[in-house]
Amino acid sequence: MNNKRIYLNAFVMNTPGHMSAGLWTHPDNDASGYRKSEYWIKLARLLEKGRFDAVFLADVLGTYDVYRGSRDPAVRRGAQAPVNDPSYIVPLMSAVTNHLGFGLTASVTHEHPYTFARRMTTLDHLTNGRVGWNIVTSYLNSAAVNIGLDKQIGHDERYDIAQEYLEVCYKLWEESWEEDAVVADKETGIYANPEKVHDIHHEGKYYKVPGAHLSEPSPQRTPVLFQAGASPRGREFASKNAELVFINAPSIEAGRETVKRLRADFEKNGRKPEDIKILTMLTPIIGETEESAHQKLEEFKKHISHEGAFALFGGWTGIDLSEFDDDDVLTYVENDSMRSVIEVLTRVDPDKQWTIKELRDFIGIGGISAYVVGSPEQVADELEQWMEEAGVDGFNLAHTTSPGTFKEFIEHVVPILQERGRVPKEYEGATLRDNLFGQGDRLPEDHPGKSTRKVRF
């Protein structure tokens, strides 16, 4: 066993109930305080104390409405509804920390790249270079109609739009302002040398942006690029652009295949393996002993909202499980998402015939992803097993209770992982990118955001 470092993200969302539907009702869960600054400030301090690399802020601009053809179940059960804007949490959490990074989810279909690029640069300045962008290309139909689109754009076209959106951002972030454009010299009264600030002259299929970036360069320029992409087109997009890829593997076996496929994609796109980290989602359930951890899991299960779990499942897969009975066995149907869900469950337990009821209990804790249950030692062992056998670089840790899950993990598991040389005791870089890759604050030279000069100066 080598001592490959484990990267740790906390997976949260600006909503009462994130991945574990109904768990906001647990007495130890403070997540229904999500609206207030104090909740996030406290969490930020905890995560930095616990040597987490970043907090990953999920988002969805809409309410899940597939289950029973209605948004009511999601609203009633606080299942990712209501949901506030994730970006304003970043300056709050960064003001009380020095190293913790932030992976902010934002969709390329919700805002023009010219204004979005300024938002991210502003955040990168305010956080001293600790911002990441989780690039989302898809969105719900319920979101699309509310922002004036008649319906969702086709899946593949979304990636074409996303690629051009990134091009615009890269030009604004990387090429518009030269490194020494800003002098801010009080003697000469020169703030910036205009001849070093360039119009980007972008004219593409989807966007026209003739001008220069409004903001001066921030510590990282381009935020660290996060992406999750499962479809072939999504994987291609991630392989080109992402620096941190986030997967959702329900078992080590499933994770291994995904990681293998992703690493091959990266290589095909000429990316260096050390420039990309793959994190898998995992929900840790930690007890003093294995037995008490399982008791805790049973206790958590009592708080699952079935309706909420089905609402989330409907949103993720497009499948309305209200058409089935509790004891119905899951069977293949003509739906890609359903097929992949069943494949996933089969990997969790290949000999099992899953019923709707069992599916519900499974997804009730952490959604369609793995959870690890055990004593701190056991959880640490299992994380190491994932590292070795699935080949991931770390974990996007979802919670059953917040800050409870993170607190337990930090108090009991992180020290073990540090003892084993898996998690550094100190932060190693100033910016998020430097902390993750140890090669400076900026995109590597061979990254597509950097490698070609696109601006006609």
Should residue 210 be labelled a site residue for its own copies when binding is judged by CB under 8 A? Answer: yes
Q: Which helix (H) or strand (E) holds 451?
A: helix 448-451
Which among 65-73, 259-267, 283-291, 330-338 is the span making contact with its own copies, rule CB under 8 A? 65-73
Which of 435, 433, 434, 415 is closest to 425 using CA atoms?
415
Nearer to its own copies by C-beta: 198 or 412? 198
For position 207 contacting its own copies by CB under 8 A, the verdict is yes
* Minimum CB distance to its own copies, residue 67 (Å): 12
152 binding its own copies? (CB under 8 A): no
Nearer to its own copies, 165 or 246 (CB): 165
Q: How far is the CB of 117 from its own copies (least distance, A)?
A: 10
Single out the residue of 50, 58, 53, 52 nearest to residue 34, CA to CA. Answer: 58
87 binds its own copies (CB under 8 A): yes
Please tell me whether residue 208 binds its own copies under the rule CB under 8 A: yes
Q: Which residue of 5, 18, 51, 71 would you call a contact of its own copies, by CB under 8 A? A: 71
CB of 87 to its own copies, least distance (A): 7
14 binds its own copies (CB under 8 A): yes
> Site mask, its own copies, residues 157-186, x = CB under 8 A?
--------------------x----x-x-x
Q: Do the beta carbons of residue 284 and residue 405 sit within 8 Å?
A: yes
> Token digits for 283?
């929900």
Q: Which stretch binds its own copies (CB under 8 A): 141-149, 226-234, 236-244, 394-402?
A: 141-149
* Minimum CB distance to its own copies, residue 205 (Å): 12
316, 227, 10, 363: CA torsion to nearest 10: 20
- Closest to its own copies by CB, 154 or 189: 189
Nearest residue (CB) to its own copies, 216 versus 358:
216
Of the pair 153, 197, the CB lying nearest its own copies is at 197
| Cβ closest to its own copies, residue 4 vs residue 196 | 196
Contacting residue, 45, 125, 347, 450, with its own copies by CB under 8 A:
125
Whichever of 211 and 318 has its CB closer to its own copies, that residue is: 211
Distance CA 368, CA 312 (A): 10
User: How far is the C-alpha of 304 from the C-alpha of 366, rounded, in Å?
Assistant: 10
Q: Which of 305, 396, 401, 405 binds its own copies (CB under 8 A)?
A: 305
Identify the helix (H) or strand (E) that includes residue 42: helix 37-49
Q: Does 32 bind its own copies (CB under 8 A)?
A: yes
Hey, which residues does 373 pair with through a beta bridge?
285
Q: Would you give the binding string for its own copies spanning residues 183-202, x where CB under 8 A is met?
A: -x-xx-xxxxxxx-x-----
User: Toward its own copies, which CB reaches closer, 189 or 273?
Assistant: 189
Contacts of 148 (CB under 8 A, 6+ apart): none
- Identify the DSSP state of 243: S
The per-type count for the chain, helices as H runs and strands as E runs, is 17, 13
Binding range to its own copies, per CB under 8 A, among 90-98, 227-235, 283-291, 341-349: 90-98
In whole angstroms, what is the distance from residue 141 CA to residue 123 CA?
Answer: 29
Shortest reach from residue 79's CB to its own copies, in Å: 8
Which helix H or strand E contains 208, and what residues bound it? strand 208-209
For its own copies, which stretch binds (CB under 8 A), given 32-40, 320-328, 353-361, 371-379? 32-40
DSSP per-residue letters across 323-371: GS-TTPBP---S-HHHHHHHHHHHHH-TT---BHHHHHHHHHTTSSSEE
- The answer to the question of residue 223 lying near its own copies (CB under 8 A) is no
Task: Give the range of 36-44, 259-267, 317-325, 413-421 binding its own copies by CB under 8 A.
Answer: 36-44
- Per the CB < 8 A criterion, the answer to whether 297 and 285 are in contact is yes
Residue 159, CA atoms < 13 Å, CB-side half-sphere:
17
- State the Cα–Cα distance between residues 53 and 394, nearest whole angstrom: 10
Q: Is 204 helix (H, G, I), strand (E, B) or coil?
A: coil
Beta pairing partners, 372: 284
Q: How many CB atoms lie within 10 A of CB 19?
A: 27
What residues from 235 to 274 belong to the interface with its own copies (CB under 8 A)?
A: none
Told to check if 145 binds its own copies by CB under 8 A, we report: yes
Q: Which of 1, 148, 179, 334 binds its own copies (CB under 8 A)?
A: 148
Q: Least distance from C-beta 98 to its own copies, angstroms? A: 11
Residue 70 burial (CB < 10 Å; 0-12/13-18/19+)? Answer: middle
Selected from 4, 45, 49, 118, the binder of its own copies by CB under 8 A is 118
- Binder among 4, 25, 233, 347 for its own copies (CB under 8 A): 25
